Amino acid sequence: MSSRDPLFVTRPTLPPFEEVQPALEKIWQSRLLTNGGPFLQRFEQALAGHLGVAHISLVANATLGTVLAMRQAGITGGEVVTTPFSFVATSHAIRWAGAEPVFADIDPVTLNLDPASAAAAITPRTRAILAVHCFGVPCDTAGLASVARDHGLPLFYDAAHAFGVRDGAESVLSHGDASVLSFHATKVFNTLEGGAVILPDRGAKLALDRLANHGIEDEETIPDLGMNAKMNEISAAIGLAQLPHVSDDIAARAEVARRYWDGLSGVAGIRCLCPPARPGQNHYAFPILVGPDYPWTRGRLIEHLKADGILARRYFYPLISDLPLYRDLPSSAPEGLPVARRAAEEVLCLPIFPDLAKADQARVIDVVRDAFQAP
Ligand code: T4K
């Protein structure tokens, strides 16, 4: 990328076109475009092997995958305890599943759902907990599992950001009653649009597959209120072609993260959320928290970056609980959620993607450091 182009917060990675072309030709010849075709079958198997998990259902996107993961577990109403510090799809999925979100506060270190706050938000109407591995940083999975177990609740993970993330020796996707990955264009691994639901057993996987195909069991038997959430054959073929490249992509992201860390971790008032030395990361994002000791406000930093063509983004501001759709819920009260509120005021995601040029990245670091030179 030339330094004259706008520098986006992310850029999709695509496999070399010639590696996808033969698959596209096969799809054109076979005219099998969707509904569980051969590329989907192959991709599903290859992905399970790559991620080290046994039961995967591919879906059209993570939002539908999350709705169906909850429906598959029998959620049709009541309340679901969740984090307000996420992309709006997390709470929208709860509403589409027929339940109401109840917001609990986040942990100040991970910015993920705080188990104690989640426990305090549980009422007799609670049907589940939906946590998010925000920016690919693992949640306190042991703490959340213990809360879920104590209250007899299913625990779901929005793992949209967590492709390939490991938590110790294990895939972070092996926790809970379902984890949902996003393969949207902006993610570490993309199929243009797409997603996957990781489930604990084959029965749950088959139930989710059926829900994603209108609830159809066979031509005459349609027992469930399903929907259309199927991944198509072109997305599956792109996924298959991406898979051999994703480890190199993550390694390239790790180098970008390392350079940000070297350039910014000592800057007064700036906290880098994801120290690159932490093992098992995928470096989906490079979030910084712009604190009171930094000379500029976050807004002023954004303006300075923009003036240099750098389009950093406030993921996630506003809090979901402050959106008109959700702000009248009792758990959205302004005096609640202090940690999430502060994170939303301070967070800024800097550009990160595998082929981010060193010179472009140096510009980002320079602008952040400029605050100490400017009058
Ligand atoms: N849960 C969480 C925690 C999520 O973060 C998300 C999605 C979901 C669930 C839902 O997953 P899916 O149902 O989508 O599978 C973007 C993405 O659209 C969204 O998928 C993502 N989270 C969110 C964090 O970011 P926007 O509105 O900020 O996207 P946009 O279009 O401004 O894109 C950001 C930048 O990426 C652009 O400035 C340029 C670059 N870009 C984007 C696209 C789409 C490209 O270079 N090429 C592209 O094709 O939401």
Per-residue pLDDT of 28-46, as tens digits, reads 999 999 999 999 999 999 9
62 lines ligand 1 (CB under 6 A): yes
One DSSP character per residue, 154-167 reads: -EEEE-TT-TT-EE
| Residue nearest to ligand 1 atom 29, measured at CA | 186
314 lines ligand 1 (CB under 6 A): no
282 lines ligand 1 (CB under 6 A): no
63 lines ligand 1 (CB under 6 A): yes
Residue in 11, 87, 90 to alter for ligand 1 test, most ligand atoms within 8 A of Cβ: 87
184 lines ligand 1 (CB under 6 A): yes
158 lines ligand 1 (CB under 6 A): yes
Report the sign of the C-alpha dihedral through residues 250, 253, 257, 258, in that order.
positive
Q: For residue 66, which atom of ligand 1 is closest to its CA?
A: 9
Buried b / exposed e across 317-342, counting CB within 10 Å, b at 16+?
A: bebbbbeeebeebebbeeebbebbbe
**Cβ atoms of 266 and 259 closer than 8 Å:** no
**Cβ atoms of 319 and 344 closer than 8 Å:** yes
**Cβ atoms of 346 and 291 closer than 8 Å:** yes
Each residue of 240-278: pLDDT tens digit? 999 999 999 999 999 999 999 999 999 999 999 999 888
235 lines ligand 1 (CB under 6 A): no
Distance CA 66, CA 198 (A): 11
In angstroms, the Cα distances linking 191 to 20, 140, 239, 274 are 12, 29, 5, 25
Q: What is the pLDDT of residue 4?
A: 63
Q: How long a stretch of residues is the chain?
A: 375
CA of 144 to the centre of ligand 1 (A): 27
Residue in 130, 163, 186, 190 to alter for ligand 1 test, most ligand atoms within 8 A of Cβ: 186
Nearest to 155 by CA among 163, 167, 143, 138: 143
Residues of the chain with pLDDT under 70: 1-4, 374-375
Q: What is the pLDDT of residue 375?
A: 62
Radius of gyration, alpha carbons of the chain: 21
Q: What is the pLDDT of residue 94?
A: 98
60 lines ligand 1 (CB under 6 A): no
CA of 87 to the centre of ligand 1 (A): 9
CA of 89 to the centre of ligand 1 (A): 11
CA of 282 to the centre of ligand 1 (A): 17
Collapsing DSSP to helix, strand or coil, 12 comes out as coil
Distance CA 91, CA 31 (A): 37
Runs of H (alpha helix) within 77-156: 89-96, 115-120, 141-151
Q: What is the pLDDT of residue 334?
A: 82
**Cβ atoms of 229 and 59 closer than 8 Å:** yes
Identify any residues that bridge with 126 across adjacent strands, giving them in sequence order.
79
pTM: 0.97
Q: Beta strands 347-350 and 79-82: pairing type? A: unpaired
160 lines ligand 1 (CB under 6 A): yes
In angstroms, the Cα distances linking 250 to 13, 78, 162, 282, 329 are 11, 39, 12, 6, 39
166 lines ligand 1 (CB under 6 A): no
Q: What is the pLDDT of residue 57?
A: 98
